[in-house]
Chain A
Amino acid sequence: MSREATADGIAIPAGGRNYINAEQGIWSWLTTVDHKRIGLMYLASTFTAFLIGGIFALLLRFELLSPKEDIMTAPQYNQAFTLHGAIMVFLFIIPSIPGGLGNFIIPIAIGAKDVAFPKLNLLSLYLYWIGAIFTVSCLVTTGLDTGWTFYIPYSSTVSQTSVIAVTFGVFILGFSSILTGLNFIVTIHKLRAPGMTFFRLPLMLWAAYATSLIQVLATPVLAITLLLLIFERSFGIGIFDPKLGGDPVLFQHFFWFYSHPAVYIMILPGMGIASELIAVHSHRRIFGYRAIAFSSVAIALLGFLVWGHHMFTSGQSELSSTIFSFITFFIAVPSGVKVFNWTATMWKGSIAWNAPMLYGMSFLFLFTIGGLTGLPLAMIGADLHLHDTYFVVAHFHYVMVGGTVVAFIGGLHHWWPKMTGKMYSNKAATVACALIFVGFNMTFFTQFILGTQGMPRRYYTYLDQFQPLHAFSTYGSWVLGAGLFLVLFTFIHSIFKGEKAPKNPWGARSLEWVCDSPPPTENFARTPTVTHGPYDFPTTVNR
């Protein structure tokens, strides 16, 4: 009843203008300040980056089919894994969910017409493009072979590749990230519709808020680190170079002071999406709303205190290692709170067996494995054995791909009808989800086993005994790739052949489902008044 009352007179009558057809032409897109258009452009851009990074991934796996040089030499392999990592981290995972889905959903979900600083939002997108051009420019010059972590002294004095161009690109991407985070924080504070209290925010927004905090607080440290690296390489300032009296471990401290929190920039939005997917498609009030909301903020804050666990073998003191190890275990607490709450939400829910829910459950399964395998890595003793092996590779792929990417694709399926006004083939989407789930586990669960057996990461070759597992992992990557391409085809098919989407295909309760699909430029005819929480589903569901 309250939903009808809220919706009354707020949505603009269907059949009219929407944000996609409001203005025509490429110039109207390039100069737009509409958060929805900017979000779509972010999605297109980050997906292009995902495609490039994915091609590198498939090439890497193909090379690892056998221990010999299959398709690339050792130096080429170094370049391929570096570019795979750098493109996936800086051009895809970090900007994709905040810049794409976040931009699209956040203002609508709080009942606002736009983000707080629309022009700044467009500037963020342009900075992303400029940074991306610098970063991928190395593809046509001398490439990059430092690994995505740019460790010194290799990156400052040894490597002959385009370190400066790429680090400068990442420096610019950092500004894009900071400005997006700043924009979202102010938006969520200042632009909530009447009645939209903090505890009525969809959990996606709590996660986005926590993510934005990290983007604002951590990214400046990456900026100064990369700037110092550029100075080191071009002017020999000797702050990191041991030959000149500097300290390479200091670089690692600086780098991970950003890059560990950045791991939570990557996973927190995924957790936010998972909360939406699981609650909405279970038609059930989310279990422990406040616990999930505060655990996002707790993860964001704890994330600043654990960077040293990347450096157990780098020569930091045993005392530091012990303290970092200790704090790292605390991260498991808010993560566990979330996992249990999501599971409890499904209990006695009216679970819809559609693609978004399947992605939600895949996320839950894969993220749990990814999270739990982080614990042996947090233990100093176990980490000395597992450090820089495929165990680490498998662990962070379970979190980044099994967690974030799966949630991201699930979120795309969830909000696709809203963004495009078209439904997609649920059958094709379900098959794609199954392929991704199976292919992903084939690829990466194998790597846990390889890692425990001592297979080190970042080598183009390996001992003969590892070949069966490596080959299996490569076959898995093909299944995974096929699943991802099927996602792409499902969406393309939907654009041209999809049925028209209703306002609220999932029976969701948050504000973005009150406005039209696709929404008009101004989102709402007049500012809505919020009278209920985002997960107040009717107690009986007729289906």
Chain B
Amino acid sequence: MSAASETAGPKGSPNFHVAHHFDSADTQFDAGRMGVWLFLVTEILFFGGLFCAFFIFRSWYFDSFVEAHHHLDWKLGALNTVFLITSSLTMALAVRSAQVSNQKLTSQMLLATILLACAFLVVKYFEYTHKIHDGLLPAGYFSGQGFTSAHPGVFFSIYFVMTGIHGLHVVIGIGLLLWILFRNMRGEFSSRYYVGVEGVGLYWHLVDLVWIYLFPLLYLVG
């Protein structure tokens, strides 16, 4: 174990040490990465329930879904898609910079990711305000005018639940990114140890990926 920590110990990462129950830094790294991937699996199943509900109600209330989805602004949705995809790029670059021990670039890329995430939330805020103003609310409070189909409220229920829970994941993601940014500024990450950056990166890509499905389903095809 002592031999392992000498070879695998990160240069310039004074706070890093191999936890006592791992035989080497590599095992610890693998374990951490495996844990993150398993967590992502749970996220997919979590959202899976919502996608399942979306497809069921879309097939039952097809007319309502088509009619209601015209009330979503696809331009704002597309703008947010650009924000998130770009943020995934900056996130990937942050992981890459950590891998090559470029601490400064890692911080810059993490900051860029956080700003793009905030921009996403700002756009989302304007979208939500507009919907609430028009009474385009979940079924129980729906008061939208001029609808001809029977169940537009169910569409907005699903819209608010799915984008709301996704938005919550963005907020949590910003928190995680700030934590990683803080740790990076303390010099904890380097080519020898970057599992924290990579883990949050994987989470962030998943948040992005969920939106990649939400945008066409809700805004484009309805």
Binds B, one of A143-151, A185-193, A271-279: A185-193
Contact indicator A237/B161 (Cβ below 8 Å)? yes
Instruction: Check if B4 is an interface residue, CB within 8 A of chain A.
Output: no
**Shortest distance between the CB of B54 and any CB in chain A (Å):** 10
Taken together as a complex, chains A and B put the C-alpha atoms of A237 and B165 apart, in Å, by 14
Q: With an 8 A cutoff between CB atoms, is A434 at the interface?
A: no
Q: B48: shortest Cβ distance to chain A, in Å? A: 7
> Would you call A112 and B154 a contact (CB within 8 A)?
no
Interface pair B31/A116, CB less than 8 Å apart: yes
Min CB–CB distance B199 → chain A (angstroms): 12
Which chain A residue lies CB-closest to B27?
Answer: A190
Q: List, in ascending order, chain A residues with CB within 8 A of B39's CB.
A: 182
A371 within 8 A of B: no
Q: Tell me the count of chain A residues lying within 8 A, CB to CB, of chain B.
A: 44
Is residue B56 contacting chain A, with contact meaning CB distance below 8 A? yes
Collect the chain A residues with CB atoms within 8 Å of residue B151's CB: 245
Q: How far is the CA of A15 from the CA of B130 in the complex (A)?
A: 72
Main secondary structure of the interface of B (DSSP, over half): helix
Q: Does B46 contact A (CB under 8 A)?
A: yes
Q: Determine if A113 and B49 form an interchain contact, defined as CB atoms under 8 angstroms apart.
A: no
Do residues B50 and A224 form an inter-chain contact, with CB atoms below 8 A?
yes
16-68 of chain B: CB within 8 A of chain A: 19-23, 27, 30-31, 34-35, 38-39, 41-43, 45-50, 52-53, 56-57, 61
Which label, helix, strand, loop or mixed, suits the secondary structure of the A interface?
A: helix
Contact indicator B46/A237 (Cβ below 8 Å): no
Q: Does A220 contact B (CB under 8 A)?
A: yes
- Interface contacts (Cβ under 8 Å), in number, total 119
**Chain A nearest CB, measured from B114 CB (Å):** 25
- Cβ–Cβ < 8 Å partners of A246 in chain B: 139, 154, 157
Report Cα–Cα, A102/B129, bound state, in Å. Answer: 49
| Cα-based distance from A223 to B157 in the complex (angstroms) | 18
Closest 5 CB pairs of A and B: A236-B140, A238-B139, A113-B21, A244-B139, A224-B49
21 contacts between A and B (CB under 8 A): A118-B21, A183-B35, A186-B35, A186-B38, A218-B45, A221-B45, A225-B49, A227-B165, A228-B161, A235-B138, A235-B141, A236-B139, A238-B140, A239-B53, A239-B154, A239-B161, A241-B139, A241-B140, A244-B157, A245-B153, A246-B157
Residues of A with Cβ closer than 8 Å to B? 107, 112-118, 120, 178, 182-183, 185-186, 189-191, 216-221, 223-225, 227-228, 231, 235-239, 241, 244-247, 250, 254, 257, 522, 527
